[in-house]
Amino acid sequence: MREAAQLARVEKLLPRWRELPLYHAAPENKFFRLPLIGKRELRENFPNNFLRAGQNLDALLADKSVELEHTSGSSEERTAVLFGRGWWNEQEARVLRLNGFVAKTLAENPRARRATLVPPICNGLVCFSNYTSKSARTVDTTLFVNQARIPFLLTDAELARMAEEILEWSPVFLDLDPVHGAWFALYCERNRIKFPSVKFILCSYEFVSVVHRKILQRVFGVPVFNLYGSTETGHLLMENETGEMKACLDNVFYEIVETDEHGVGDLVVTTLTNEIMPLVRYRIGDLVERREQPYTTNYSVHGRARDGLRRRDGRRVTTLEIDRCFGGVNGIAHYQLRQNEAGDGDLQFIPDREVPGAAELECLTGRIENLLQLKNKITVSAVEKLPPLTSGKFRLTGRA
Protein backbone atom coordinates (compact mmCIF):
# COMPACT_ATOMS: atom_id res chain seq x y z
CA MET A 1 0.00 0.00 0.00
CA ARG A 2 2.83 2.40 0.84
CA GLU A 3 4.53 1.73 -2.50
CA ALA A 4 1.25 2.41 -4.33
CA ALA A 5 0.92 5.69 -2.46
CA GLN A 6 4.54 6.43 -3.32
CA LEU A 7 3.88 5.97 -7.03
CA ALA A 8 0.96 8.41 -6.75
CA ARG A 9 3.41 10.87 -5.19
CA VAL A 10 5.82 10.37 -8.10
CA GLU A 11 3.12 11.08 -10.65
CA LYS A 12 2.13 14.20 -8.74
CA LEU A 13 5.73 15.44 -8.82
CA LEU A 14 6.26 14.73 -12.51
CA PRO A 15 4.82 18.07 -13.78
CA ARG A 16 7.20 19.89 -11.44
CA TRP A 17 10.18 17.86 -12.70
CA ARG A 18 9.21 18.63 -16.30
CA GLU A 19 10.12 22.27 -15.63
CA LEU A 20 13.80 21.22 -15.71
CA PRO A 21 15.47 21.19 -19.14
CA LEU A 22 16.60 17.57 -18.72
CA TYR A 23 12.98 16.43 -18.42
CA HIS A 24 11.23 18.85 -20.79
CA ALA A 25 10.38 16.05 -23.18
CA ALA A 26 8.91 13.83 -20.45
CA PRO A 27 5.35 12.72 -21.23
CA GLU A 28 3.00 14.24 -18.69
CA ASN A 29 1.94 11.75 -15.97
CA LYS A 30 3.56 8.85 -17.85
CA PHE A 31 6.34 8.00 -15.43
CA PHE A 32 7.21 4.53 -16.71
CA ARG A 33 7.56 5.83 -20.26
CA LEU A 34 10.53 7.95 -19.20
CA PRO A 35 13.92 6.59 -20.34
CA LEU A 36 16.49 5.51 -17.79
CA ILE A 37 19.30 8.01 -17.24
CA GLY A 38 22.85 7.70 -15.94
CA LYS A 39 25.85 9.85 -15.13
CA ARG A 40 26.24 10.89 -18.75
CA GLU A 41 22.86 12.65 -18.71
CA LEU A 42 23.79 14.34 -15.42
CA ARG A 43 27.02 15.71 -16.90
CA GLU A 44 25.66 16.90 -20.25
CA ASN A 45 25.12 20.67 -20.20
CA PHE A 46 25.50 20.83 -16.42
CA PRO A 47 24.28 22.89 -14.57
CA ASN A 48 21.85 24.21 -17.16
CA ASN A 49 20.22 20.79 -17.52
CA PHE A 50 18.88 21.16 -13.95
CA LEU A 51 18.31 24.89 -13.53
CA ARG A 52 14.80 26.26 -13.87
CA ALA A 53 14.05 29.41 -15.84
CA GLY A 54 15.65 32.42 -14.18
CA GLN A 55 18.00 30.38 -11.97
CA ASN A 56 21.75 30.96 -11.97
CA LEU A 57 24.19 28.60 -10.26
CA ASP A 58 26.61 31.33 -9.17
CA ALA A 59 23.74 33.21 -7.53
CA LEU A 60 22.44 30.06 -5.82
CA LEU A 61 25.90 29.30 -4.45
CA ALA A 62 26.44 32.91 -3.39
CA ASP A 63 23.30 32.98 -1.26
CA LYS A 64 24.17 29.50 0.11
CA SER A 65 20.84 27.97 -0.89
CA VAL A 66 22.56 25.01 -2.58
CA GLU A 67 25.63 22.83 -2.12
CA LEU A 68 27.79 21.69 -5.04
CA GLU A 69 29.45 18.30 -4.60
CA HIS A 70 31.01 15.65 -6.84
CA THR A 71 30.74 11.87 -7.08
CA SER A 72 33.79 9.76 -6.30
CA GLY A 73 34.36 8.64 -9.88
CA SER A 74 34.54 4.94 -9.02
CA SER A 75 32.87 3.81 -12.26
CA GLU A 76 32.99 6.88 -14.51
CA GLU A 77 34.51 10.36 -14.41
CA ARG A 78 33.46 12.52 -11.48
CA THR A 79 30.00 14.04 -11.79
CA ALA A 80 28.76 17.29 -10.26
CA VAL A 81 25.75 17.08 -7.94
CA LEU A 82 23.56 19.83 -6.50
CA PHE A 83 21.85 19.61 -3.11
CA GLY A 84 19.53 21.98 -1.37
CA ARG A 85 21.16 23.37 1.77
CA GLY A 86 20.78 20.79 4.55
CA TRP A 87 19.29 18.15 2.24
CA TRP A 88 22.02 15.56 2.84
CA ASN A 89 21.63 15.54 6.61
CA GLU A 90 17.83 15.52 6.47
CA GLN A 91 17.52 12.51 4.18
CA GLU A 92 20.26 10.69 6.11
CA ALA A 93 18.36 11.19 9.36
CA ARG A 94 15.24 9.58 7.88
CA VAL A 95 17.20 6.55 6.64
CA LEU A 96 19.08 6.00 9.90
CA ARG A 97 15.81 5.73 11.80
CA LEU A 98 14.90 2.60 9.85
CA ASN A 99 17.12 0.87 12.40
CA GLY A 100 15.51 0.80 15.85
CA PHE A 101 18.80 0.53 17.75
CA VAL A 102 20.31 3.47 15.87
CA ALA A 103 17.11 5.49 16.20
CA LYS A 104 17.03 4.96 19.98
CA THR A 105 20.71 5.82 20.37
CA LEU A 106 20.39 9.02 18.35
CA ALA A 107 17.22 10.01 20.24
CA GLU A 108 19.19 9.69 23.48
CA ASN A 109 22.06 11.71 21.95
CA PRO A 110 20.49 14.49 19.82
CA ARG A 111 23.89 16.04 19.09
CA ALA A 112 25.65 12.73 18.60
CA ARG A 113 29.23 13.11 17.48
CA ARG A 114 30.65 10.87 14.78
CA ALA A 115 34.18 10.09 13.65
CA THR A 116 34.51 9.39 9.93
CA LEU A 117 37.17 7.31 8.13
CA VAL A 118 36.64 7.38 4.37
CA PRO A 119 38.71 7.85 1.21
CA PRO A 120 39.53 11.57 1.42
CA ILE A 121 38.61 12.25 -2.22
CA CYS A 122 35.21 10.54 -1.92
CA ASN A 123 33.24 13.74 -2.46
CA GLY A 124 33.16 17.39 -1.56
CA LEU A 125 31.81 16.67 1.90
CA VAL A 126 34.77 14.53 2.88
CA CYS A 127 37.74 15.89 0.91
CA PHE A 128 40.09 16.59 3.80
CA SER A 129 43.37 15.28 2.40
CA ASN A 130 44.66 18.85 2.03
CA TYR A 131 44.11 19.82 5.66
CA THR A 132 46.30 18.79 8.55
CA SER A 133 44.79 20.49 11.58
CA LYS A 134 42.02 18.78 13.50
CA SER A 135 39.96 21.98 13.55
CA ALA A 136 39.97 22.10 9.74
CA ARG A 137 38.66 18.53 9.67
CA THR A 138 35.84 19.16 12.14
CA VAL A 139 32.45 20.05 10.68
CA ASP A 140 29.68 20.53 13.25
CA THR A 141 29.34 17.13 14.97
CA THR A 142 31.61 15.25 12.54
CA LEU A 143 35.36 14.72 12.80
CA PHE A 144 37.10 13.49 9.64
CA VAL A 145 40.15 11.60 10.84
CA ASN A 146 41.55 10.00 7.69
CA GLN A 147 43.83 11.90 5.29
CA ALA A 148 45.24 8.94 3.28
CA ARG A 149 43.85 7.29 0.17
CA ILE A 150 45.54 3.91 0.74
CA PRO A 151 45.14 2.68 4.35
CA PHE A 152 47.80 -0.05 4.01
CA LEU A 153 50.48 2.63 3.63
CA LEU A 154 49.64 4.42 6.89
CA THR A 155 52.45 4.55 9.43
CA ASP A 156 51.90 3.62 13.06
CA ALA A 157 52.40 7.28 13.93
CA GLU A 158 49.55 8.31 11.64
CA LEU A 159 47.28 5.54 12.95
CA ALA A 160 48.12 6.60 16.50
CA ARG A 161 47.16 10.18 15.63
CA MET A 162 43.80 8.97 14.32
CA ALA A 163 43.14 6.89 17.44
CA GLU A 164 44.07 9.76 19.76
CA GLU A 165 41.75 12.15 17.93
CA ILE A 166 38.84 9.72 18.17
CA LEU A 167 39.41 9.16 21.88
CA GLU A 168 39.47 12.92 22.49
CA TRP A 169 36.39 13.49 20.28
CA SER A 170 34.35 10.79 22.11
CA PRO A 171 31.99 10.01 19.21
CA VAL A 172 28.74 8.12 19.67
CA PHE A 173 29.37 6.23 16.42
CA LEU A 174 31.98 5.61 13.75
CA ASP A 175 31.19 6.22 10.07
CA LEU A 176 33.59 4.02 8.09
CA ASP A 177 34.65 2.92 4.69
CA PRO A 178 34.89 -0.81 5.49
CA VAL A 179 38.42 -1.29 4.12
CA HIS A 180 39.80 1.77 5.90
CA GLY A 181 37.86 0.84 9.02
CA ALA A 182 39.05 -2.76 9.16
CA TRP A 183 42.70 -1.75 8.69
CA PHE A 184 42.40 0.85 11.44
CA ALA A 185 40.67 -1.71 13.67
CA LEU A 186 43.61 -4.10 13.34
CA TYR A 187 45.94 -1.34 14.55
CA CYS A 188 43.65 -0.71 17.51
CA GLU A 189 43.57 -4.42 18.29
CA ARG A 190 47.37 -4.72 18.26
CA ASN A 191 47.64 -1.77 20.63
CA ARG A 192 44.60 -2.65 22.79
CA ILE A 193 42.85 0.62 22.02
CA LYS A 194 39.14 0.87 22.82
CA PHE A 195 36.61 3.67 22.28
CA PRO A 196 34.17 3.55 25.23
CA SER A 197 31.87 6.22 23.80
CA VAL A 198 31.14 4.34 20.54
CA LYS A 199 27.73 2.62 20.51
CA PHE A 200 27.58 1.44 16.88
CA ILE A 201 29.39 1.55 13.55
CA LEU A 202 28.04 2.55 10.14
CA CYS A 203 29.75 1.04 7.09
CA SER A 204 29.19 2.85 3.82
CA TYR A 205 31.00 4.27 0.76
CA GLU A 206 31.57 0.81 -0.78
CA PHE A 207 30.60 -2.87 -0.54
CA VAL A 208 30.79 -4.25 3.01
CA SER A 209 32.50 -7.65 2.99
CA VAL A 210 32.01 -10.33 5.62
CA VAL A 211 35.77 -10.18 6.28
CA HIS A 212 35.63 -6.44 7.08
CA ARG A 213 32.53 -6.82 9.25
CA LYS A 214 34.09 -9.67 11.23
CA ILE A 215 37.14 -7.57 12.14
CA LEU A 216 35.10 -4.50 13.09
CA GLN A 217 32.80 -6.51 15.34
CA ARG A 218 35.67 -8.41 16.94
CA VAL A 219 37.77 -5.35 17.70
CA PHE A 220 35.19 -2.75 18.68
CA GLY A 221 32.50 -5.02 20.16
CA VAL A 222 29.53 -2.95 18.98
CA PRO A 223 26.86 -3.52 16.30
CA VAL A 224 27.99 -2.90 12.72
CA PHE A 225 25.35 -1.76 10.23
CA ASN A 226 25.44 -1.32 6.46
CA LEU A 227 24.29 2.09 5.16
CA TYR A 228 23.98 2.05 1.38
CA GLY A 229 23.65 4.96 -1.04
CA SER A 230 25.55 7.23 -3.39
CA THR A 231 26.64 10.85 -3.54
CA GLU A 232 24.18 11.76 -6.27
CA THR A 233 21.14 10.01 -4.72
CA GLY A 234 21.82 10.25 -1.00
CA HIS A 235 21.21 7.31 1.33
CA LEU A 236 19.03 4.56 -0.09
CA LEU A 237 19.00 1.48 2.16
CA MET A 238 19.70 0.90 5.85
CA GLU A 239 20.41 -2.37 7.63
CA ASN A 240 18.14 -2.93 10.63
CA GLU A 241 18.87 -4.80 13.85
CA THR A 242 18.09 -8.22 12.31
CA GLY A 243 20.34 -7.74 9.29
CA GLU A 244 17.62 -6.79 6.79
CA MET A 245 18.26 -3.97 4.32
CA LYS A 246 15.28 -1.60 4.35
CA ALA A 247 14.24 1.11 1.91
CA CYS A 248 13.23 4.65 2.83
CA LEU A 249 10.05 5.29 0.85
CA ASP A 250 9.96 8.89 2.02
CA ASN A 251 13.21 9.57 0.15
CA VAL A 252 13.19 7.41 -2.96
CA PHE A 253 11.08 5.45 -5.43
CA TYR A 254 12.85 2.15 -6.19
CA GLU A 255 12.87 -0.01 -9.31
CA ILE A 256 14.85 -3.16 -10.14
CA VAL A 257 15.25 -3.60 -13.91
CA GLU A 258 16.76 -6.25 -16.19
CA THR A 259 16.60 -8.90 -13.49
CA ASP A 260 18.23 -12.30 -13.97
CA GLU A 261 16.77 -15.69 -13.12
CA HIS A 262 17.54 -15.09 -9.43
CA GLY A 263 15.80 -11.70 -9.28
CA VAL A 264 19.04 -9.69 -9.21
CA GLY A 265 18.97 -6.63 -11.42
CA ASP A 266 20.08 -3.03 -11.88
CA LEU A 267 18.87 -0.59 -9.25
CA VAL A 268 17.02 2.42 -10.67
CA VAL A 269 15.93 5.18 -8.30
CA THR A 270 13.89 8.35 -8.42
CA THR A 271 14.77 10.82 -5.69
CA LEU A 272 11.78 12.52 -4.07
CA THR A 273 13.28 15.19 -1.83
CA ASN A 274 16.12 16.90 -3.74
CA GLU A 275 14.22 19.84 -5.22
CA ILE A 276 17.19 21.43 -6.97
CA MET A 277 18.41 18.28 -8.76
CA PRO A 278 15.81 15.50 -8.76
CA LEU A 279 16.97 12.30 -10.42
CA VAL A 280 14.18 10.57 -12.33
CA ARG A 281 14.67 6.88 -13.17
CA TYR A 282 18.39 7.07 -12.50
CA ARG A 283 20.46 3.90 -12.99
CA ILE A 284 22.87 3.63 -10.05
CA GLY A 285 25.19 1.04 -11.59
CA ASP A 286 24.70 -1.40 -8.70
CA LEU A 287 23.05 -4.82 -8.65
CA VAL A 288 20.29 -5.25 -6.09
CA GLU A 289 17.82 -8.00 -5.22
CA ARG A 290 14.36 -7.24 -3.84
CA ARG A 291 12.45 -9.83 -1.81
CA GLU A 292 8.79 -9.00 -1.32
CA GLN A 293 7.00 -10.66 1.58
CA PRO A 294 3.39 -10.32 2.78
CA TYR A 295 4.10 -7.50 5.23
CA THR A 296 7.57 -6.24 4.34
CA THR A 297 10.13 -5.84 1.56
CA ASN A 298 13.83 -6.52 2.00
CA TYR A 299 16.79 -5.81 -0.26
CA SER A 300 20.25 -7.30 -0.82
CA VAL A 301 23.04 -5.23 -2.37
CA HIS A 302 25.09 -7.42 -4.73
CA GLY A 303 27.79 -4.90 -5.67
CA ARG A 304 28.72 -2.96 -8.79
CA ALA A 305 27.38 -4.35 -12.08
CA ARG A 306 30.79 -3.82 -13.67
CA ASP A 307 32.43 -5.97 -10.97
CA GLY A 308 30.38 -9.07 -11.76
CA LEU A 309 32.13 -12.30 -12.82
CA ARG A 310 30.96 -15.06 -15.19
CA ARG A 311 30.42 -18.77 -14.70
CA ARG A 312 31.42 -21.20 -17.40
CA ASP A 313 27.75 -21.47 -18.44
CA GLY A 314 27.60 -17.68 -18.90
CA ARG A 315 25.57 -16.81 -15.79
CA ARG A 316 26.60 -13.68 -13.95
CA VAL A 317 28.13 -14.09 -10.48
CA THR A 318 27.93 -11.00 -8.28
CA THR A 319 30.32 -9.63 -5.68
CA LEU A 320 27.87 -10.64 -2.94
CA GLU A 321 27.78 -14.24 -4.15
CA ILE A 322 31.59 -14.40 -4.10
CA ASP A 323 31.75 -12.69 -0.72
CA ARG A 324 29.44 -15.29 0.81
CA CYS A 325 32.15 -17.86 0.11
CA PHE A 326 34.32 -16.07 2.70
CA GLY A 327 31.80 -16.62 5.51
CA GLY A 328 33.44 -18.54 8.35
CA VAL A 329 36.93 -18.14 6.88
CA ASN A 330 39.52 -16.77 9.30
CA GLY A 331 42.75 -14.92 8.64
CA ILE A 332 41.68 -12.55 5.82
CA ALA A 333 41.50 -8.78 6.33
CA HIS A 334 40.84 -7.79 2.71
CA TYR A 335 40.88 -9.48 -0.69
CA GLN A 336 40.51 -9.11 -4.43
CA LEU A 337 39.41 -11.86 -6.83
CA ARG A 338 40.09 -11.23 -10.51
CA GLN A 339 38.89 -13.37 -13.40
CA ASN A 340 40.87 -13.40 -16.64
CA GLU A 341 39.55 -13.74 -20.18
CA ALA A 342 39.83 -17.55 -20.02
CA GLY A 343 37.63 -17.55 -16.91
CA ASP A 344 40.38 -18.53 -14.47
CA GLY A 345 40.60 -16.81 -11.10
CA ASP A 346 43.40 -15.12 -9.18
CA LEU A 347 42.82 -14.41 -5.48
CA GLN A 348 45.03 -12.00 -3.58
CA PHE A 349 44.42 -11.32 0.09
CA ILE A 350 45.84 -9.30 2.94
CA PRO A 351 46.15 -11.44 6.09
CA ASP A 352 44.31 -10.70 9.30
CA ARG A 353 46.21 -11.55 12.49
CA GLU A 354 47.49 -14.80 11.02
CA VAL A 355 47.52 -16.21 7.50
CA PRO A 356 44.76 -18.84 7.06
CA GLY A 357 45.93 -22.43 6.92
CA ALA A 358 46.26 -24.45 3.74
CA ALA A 359 43.13 -26.50 4.49
CA GLU A 360 41.04 -23.37 5.11
CA LEU A 361 42.26 -21.74 1.91
CA GLU A 362 41.53 -24.91 -0.04
CA CYS A 363 37.99 -24.95 1.34
CA LEU A 364 37.51 -21.29 0.39
CA THR A 365 38.86 -21.64 -3.13
CA GLY A 366 36.83 -24.82 -3.60
CA ARG A 367 33.63 -22.88 -2.88
CA ILE A 368 34.57 -20.20 -5.40
CA GLU A 369 35.64 -22.73 -8.03
CA ASN A 370 32.31 -24.55 -7.70
CA LEU A 371 30.38 -21.29 -7.87
CA LEU A 372 32.20 -20.18 -11.02
CA GLN A 373 32.35 -23.71 -12.51
CA LEU A 374 36.08 -23.32 -13.00
CA LYS A 375 38.13 -26.01 -14.72
CA ASN A 376 41.40 -24.85 -13.18
CA LYS A 377 42.35 -24.15 -9.59
CA ILE A 378 42.32 -20.55 -8.37
CA THR A 379 45.78 -19.12 -7.81
CA VAL A 380 46.12 -17.71 -4.29
CA SER A 381 48.69 -15.35 -2.79
CA ALA A 382 49.01 -13.33 0.39
CA VAL A 383 50.07 -9.71 -0.19
CA GLU A 384 50.86 -6.70 1.99
CA LYS A 385 48.58 -4.26 0.16
CA LEU A 386 46.03 -4.01 -2.63
CA PRO A 387 45.60 -0.87 -4.77
CA PRO A 388 42.36 1.12 -4.81
CA LEU A 389 40.68 2.69 -7.80
CA THR A 390 41.50 6.33 -8.55
CA SER A 391 38.40 7.20 -6.51
CA GLY A 392 39.97 5.62 -3.43
CA LYS A 393 37.44 2.75 -3.41
CA PHE A 394 38.40 -0.92 -3.59
CA ARG A 395 37.15 -3.65 -5.91
CA LEU A 396 36.64 -7.04 -4.26
CA THR A 397 35.88 -8.71 -7.60
CA GLY A 398 36.52 -7.83 -11.21
CA ARG A 399 37.34 -9.12 -14.67
CA ALA A 400 40.74 -8.54 -16.21
Nearest to 22 by CA among 2, 44, 1: 44
What is the pLDDT, as a whole number, of residue 73? 61
The verdict on residue 81 lying in a domain is: yes
pLDDT for residue 339: 96
Q: Does residue 45 come out as left (phi exceeding 0), alpha (psi in the -120 to 50 range) or beta? A: left
Instruction: Kindly state whether residue 258 falls inside one of the protein's structural domains.
Output: no
Whether residue 238 is found in the same domain as residue 314? no
Is the domain of 223 the same as that of 334? no
26 shares a domain with 146: yes
Cβ-count burial 331-360 (b if 16+ within 10 Å, e if not): bbbbbbbbbeeebbbebbbbebeeebeeee
pLDDT in tens, the chain (400 residues): 677 788 889 988 999 999 999 998 877 778 888 999 999 999 999 999 999 988 999 999 999 889 888 886 655 577 899 999 999 999 999 999 999 999 999 999 999 999 999 877 544 444 555 557 888 889 899 999 987 889 999 999 999 999 999 999 999 999 999 999 999 999 999 999 999 999 999 999 999 999 999 999 999 999 999 999 998 999 999 999 999 999 999 999 999 999 999 999 999 999 999 999 999 999 999 999 999 888 889 999 999 999 999 999 999 999 999 999 999 999 999 999 999 999 999 999 999 998 999 999 999 999 999 999 999 999 999 999 999 988 788 999 999 8
End residue of a domain, out of 244, 264, 298:
244
pLDDT of residue 238: 98
* 284 belongs to a structural domain: no
**Is residue 389 in some structural domain?**
yes
Domain termination residue (choose one: 201, 225, 244): 244
The predicted pLDDT at position 75 comes to: 56
The whole-number pLDDT of residue 130 equals 55
Residue 186: the pLDDT is 98
For the chain, the domain total comes to 2
Whether 231 maps to a domain, the answer reads yes
**Residues 224, 355 share a domain:** no
Do 39 and 162 reside in the same domain of the chain?
yes
**Domain containing residue 355: CATH number:** 3.30.300.30
Within-domain flag for 363: yes
Cα–Cα–Cα angle for 22, 123, 222, rounded to 5 degrees:
125
> What is the Cβ-side half-sphere exposure of residue 306, based on CA atoms within 13 angstroms?
9
| Residue 89 placed within a domain | yes
Q: Domain of residue 66: give its range.
A: 1-244
218 and 314 belong to one structural domain: no
Same domain? For 19 and 142 the reply is yes
The CATH number assigned to the domain holding 61 equals 3.40.50.12780
User: Do 160 and 240 share a domain, yes or no?
Assistant: yes
In a domain, 324, yes or no: yes
